[in-house]
Structure 1
Amino acid sequence: MSIDLDEIVAIDVHTHAEVSSRGGASLTDELHKASSAYFKVDGTKRKPTLEELAAYYRERRMAAVVFTVDAEHATGVPPVPNEEVAEAAAANPDVLIPFASIDPFRGKAGIRRARRLVEEYGVKGFKFHPSIQAFFPNDRLAYGLYEAIEELGCIALFHTGQTGIGAGVPGGGGIRLKYSNPMHVDDVAADFPQMKIILAHPSFPWQDEALSVATHKPAVHIDLSGWSPKYFPPQLVRYANTLLKDKVLFGSDYPVISPDRWLADFAALPLKDEVRPKILKDNAARLLGLCEDS
């Protein structure tokens, strides 16, 4: 990885690879259309290739963590290949940081795949989406995978709170919100104390739970993706400005929310001047091992 921290202005820790170079998408057409409507984005413009994503962030002098979501057991849809994401990051090491996603239902095969992705492809972390993958994070089914992630020194990033995926579809497309209560991740943080964890998104309707877990467990962080900052709950802003100023991370959820829109609204938040650079770059640089004091 060759990210020059002096040359970039921010690190976006939450972006999605939504389409493979071979044309495959990680969501069904129904879920893609519904989530585009939920986020009020043009679905036809929402599928940048990985090379386009790299160029987009390079133009903005930003780095980006990028990943797919492997929920094939629950959805029947194969993800954008993790290897493809990692290869794109290797080809664009100045701007892309590769995470992977392994469906916990893959069992021992998934654990072997996770190890190979780290050891052979340089993957730095793993994305879990409990609501789409249909599992509770503290289900022992996933513990072998966490053991490998902790041993390898990687990051586990968990979607928390409501999801735009399935919103507006009858029955929510069968996607259940209960899986993404951050309190289930509290068990994981207790059982794997050396594993670095990110709770993704303002965790509506469990924001206080997320703040509690992040203040109580040293290895737990929060990313601010998936919402425009102007809609952040006031307690999230207060904690980001004080107790969690070293543990809160900029994330956009691109391509459903652009970093341009996110940053414009972030500028209006009542944050201390010394806190802003921590959230935009410094905290992520340390967590990702990009700086000497990581």
Structure 2
Amino acid sequence: MDGIDVGALDAIDVHTHAEVGKDGHQSLSGELLAASEAYFKAHGHRRPTIDEMASYYRERRMAAVVFTVDAEHLTGHPRIRNEEVATSCAAHPDVLIPFASIDPHRGRAGVLEARRLVTDHGVRGFKFHPSLQGFGPSDRLAYPLYEAIQDLGVPALFHTGQTGIGAGVRGGGGIRLRFSNPMLVDDVAVDFPDLRIILAHPSFPWQDEALAVATHKEHVYIDLSGWSPKYFPPQLIRYANSLLQDKVLFGSDYPVLTPDRWMADFTALDIKPSVRPKILKHNAARLLGLSEQDGRK
């Protein structure tokens, strides 16, 4: 089976969003997408299809993890179907890696869906956005889903820190920031010790908490998406250069933040030459089970 040739890549972006489906259905309501655009100063940015994302990343000699967010319980807005994301990514196996998103409020149906998506549709991981999905990561509501993901041997990526979704909307659109404190994910790492976990984003205002969890728990990683590197807090750069050099991952948050902008600002950071390729590619390849030869172990 064809796959990703890690050796031919310059980077692996572990954090990109499918914002529009084949039928034009958007991943979030117009109000919440507009708030996100305002937060990222990305007014009127184009929402590429997954096919367009593949071409974009192929031109840059990059691979990308792609997912949507299932937040129907809190927002009432139907998701882009995980099967559609997986099928669209499967058409571009040289550059795209499908993740899925399942709202923990879906209960047993969500657990069954998770198993089906991995075994039948080639999904390689799962995205959670606790604030947008309206649950605390340590809530036992989500534990059956974590158990299934751990059994399936794929990673779980958690949004952490503040979110631009709902920013400036009345009442924040009902989105509670406290659910995205990375210390809540520490409980998950204890109770599911073999689950590989990614803490997404510089975790403002809980950066130190994220660093503590990642240094203490064996299988917890940090991705650097959602912020231009020129705004990274100094302690994040220090840990990325030292204790966490094997557990920090390049992520952009495309399309609201492009890998072009991220890479341009990353070159200006004081990152050791030996560490830079780990962050850009090798840590993600190891975590995702990709090999230098043919992209699959």
* TM-score category (smaller protein): over 0.9
Aligned to 2:280: 280
Aligned position for 1:179: 179
- Measured after TM superposition, the shift of residue 46 of structure 1 is 3.0
Identical-pair percentage: 73
Q: Which moved more, 1:10-19 or 1:34-43?
A: 34-43
Q: Residue in 1 aligned with 2:7?
A: 6
Which amino acid counterpart does residue 213 of structure 2 have in structure 1? V
Partner of 2:39: 38
Aligned to 2:291: 291
SS of 1:262's partner is helix
Deviating above 4 A after TM superposition, structure 1's stretches of 4 or more consecutive aligned residues are none
Deviation at 1:42? Answer: 3.0
- 1:22 maps to 23
What is the TM-score with the length of structure 2 in the denominator? 0.97
Question: How far, CA to CA, are the matches of 1:46 and 1:242 in structure 2?
Answer: 37
- Give me the whole-angstrom Cα distance separating, in 2, the residues matched to 1:42 and 1:85: 25
The offset of 1:173, in angstroms, is 1.2
Q: Give the structure 2 partner of residue 241 of structure 1.
A: 241
Aligned equivalents of 1:64, 1:96: Cα separation in 2: 5
Residues 63-78 of structure 1 mapped to structure 2, 5 A cutoff: 63-78=63-78
- Does structure 1 residue 152 correspond to structure 2 residue 152? yes
Match of 1:195 in 2: 195
Matched with 2:125 is 125
Distance 2:183 2:162 in 1: 14
**Alignment coverage as a number of residue pairs:** 293
Give the match for residue 267 of structure 1: 267
Root-mean-square deviation (CA, aligned residues, Å) is: 1.1
**How far apart, in 2, do the equivalents of 1:193 and 1:246 lie?**
18
* Residue type at the aligned position of 2:233: P
Q: Which amino acid aligns with 1:30?
A: E
Within 5 Å, which residues of 2 pair with 1:155-174? 155-174=155-174
User: Structure 2 CA distance, aligned partners of 1:30 and 1:157?
Assistant: 25
Deviation at residue 54 of structure 1 after TM alignment: 0.6
Aligned equivalents of 1:11 and 1:218: distance in 2? Answer: 22
Query: What is the letter of the counterpart of residue 25 of structure 1?
Result: Q
Which residue is equivalent to 2:211?
A: 211
Structure 2: gaps of 5 or more residues? none
TM-score relative to the length of structure 1:
0.98
CA distance in 1, matches of 2:150, 2:7: 29
Gaps of 5+ in 1: none
Displacement of 1:113 in angstroms is: 0.4
How far apart in 1 are the matches of 2:50 and 2:270?
Answer: 34
